[in-house]
Amino acid sequence: MGLLDNIFGGGSGQGNSTRIVQIPFVPQNIEQMMKMPYAKLTNEFEVAALTVAVLCNYCQDPQATVEMLNYLRGPRPLSALDVQFLRDRLSGKPYKMLSYLNGTSPANNYTPTMPLGVTIVTTPASAVQSDMISLFIPSSGADSLRQLDLRRKPSTGQWFLWSLVGLMPDVRIPVNQDPWA
């Protein structure tokens, strides 16, 4: 059974498949993240959920978040341009990444339900090639799925963050910040 068979259940490749990955907590630093079972990076869905959890820490501690993201990126750390991009897209918007956690909405000011969970969707477009995958994550503040790309390192079987640009578009602001609410 190949990668596509694992993703699409027997290789049918038709329709979307949804998984919910529970996150024990939002890690605040690399030490906390490394204690999480998902830090082994052996399952692409867990790596996607861990990426969302790590990004939820950005507004609290950008530097610690960059350090965690560099671990998730493996042999390809963030460039200075990547770090600036994160700053431009996330500074002052803690709700943006919270919008990817289950139970959130603009109406509840992006307050997630417990336990924390991330819904991850695969589509027929998910498997680009044997060692790359595009996973899609719904945001409660957007009308369409958002894309997260991962790359597998064949020698270790680990999945690493390849691109998170698809998670960065803006979302609806929370009700408590909306002057028109």
Give the pLDDT confidence score for residue 128 in this predicted structure. Answer: 62
For residues 101 and 56, the answer to whether their CB atoms sit within 8 Å is: yes
State the residue for tokens 């290789």. Answer: 11
25-68, pLDDT tens digit by residue?
Answer: 999 999 999 999 999 999 999 999 999 999 999 999 999 999 99
**Could you tell me the CA-to-CA distances from 52 to 32, 91, 120, 146 in Å, in that order?**
15, 16, 11, 12
Partnered with residue 146 across adjacent β-strands are 137
pLDDT digit string, tens, across residues 1-32: 333 333 334 334 457 899 999 999 999 999 99
Q: Which helix (H) or strand (E) holds 120?
A: strand 116-122
Using a 10 angstrom Cβ sphere, with 0-12 exposed, 13-18 middle and 19 or more buried, the burial of residue 72 is buried
Looking at the whole model, is its pTM more than 0.85? yes
Handedness of CA 140, 171, 113, 160 (dihedral sign): positive
